[in-house]
Structure 1
Amino acid sequence: MSAPLIVSIPHRLGREEATRRLKAGLTRAVSSIPVLKVDEERWEDDRMVFRVRALGQAASGHLDVADDHVRLEVTLPWLLQRFAEVAQVAIRNRGNLLLTKRS
């Protein structure tokens, strides 16, 4: 099994506001990436469990919201591992936009 892709994004919003922004913004963020489809998105308190599909490959993971950071962990199939570095940068950039812009 492959090592998970882990992205940690710091924020100063507190857990409640960060969770609110992520719940509202994730659907918009995913819709702007044509090759990505969300198969499952389920929130359990401060954790989102998800399954996504890209290029015919499924990936699953979770996102944990803490008081001062968000940590995303996703296990990619071998085909998508080739795009892990690009995905990590894109996830961090989108996350920073959601967690730092004023609402």
Structure 2
Amino acid sequence: MPNPTVIDIPHNLGREEARRRMAKGVGKLASHIPGGAATVTHSWPSTDRLALTVATMGVEVPCTVDAEEERLRVTLELPGMLRLMAGPIAAIVKSQGERLMLSDGTAKASRLQS
């Protein structure tokens, strides 16, 4: 079995808000994948784990995203030749994940009110 590619995306949102943003953004994920012909299927096997399969150009990439208190942990199972591109793929995933975690200003206001 190949070694998974693990990407940590730090945040200061707390687990619940990170999970909310993941749920809000998962429907837009396919539009962020280069090539424009990707499909994304997803499920929530547990409260804090999002399981995804990204399919494009005949290749499927299973992955999980675990919401933790101070980070998202993304685990990609890159098949075959995509393993050679693990570094650039990880950089794109991290960049997009950081944008997702920063994309909603309402969390800061609601946390300050708590």
Fold match, TM over 0.5? Answer: yes
Greater fraction strand? 1
Name the counterpart of 2:93. 91
Name the counterpart of 1:6. 6
Is this contact kept in 2: 1:57–1:79, CA < 8 A? no
Alignment of 1:16-55 (within 5 A): 16-33=16-33, 34-38=36-40, 40-43=41-44, 44-55=46-57
Bigger CA drift: 46-55 or 4-13?
Answer: 46-55
- List runs of 5+ in structure 1 lacking aligned partners: none
Question: TM-score, normalization: structure 1?
Answer: 0.88
Moved over 3 A (4+): none
Aligned residue identity for 1:24: K
- List runs of 5+ in structure 2 lacking aligned partners: 106-114
Greater fraction helix? 2
CA distance, structure 1, for counterparts of residue 32 and residue 98 of structure 2: 16
Question: TM-score, normalization: structure 2?
Answer: 0.80
TM-fit CA distance, 1:35: 4.1
Greater C-alpha Rg = 2
Q: Secondary structure at the match of 1:73?
A: strand
How many residues align? The count is 102
TM-fit CA distance, 1:69: 0.5
CA distance, structure 1, for counterparts of residue 23 and residue 65 of structure 2: 11
1:59 to 58, 61, 64: 61
Is this contact kept in 2: 1:2–1:78, CA < 8 A? no
Aligned residue identity for 1:85: G
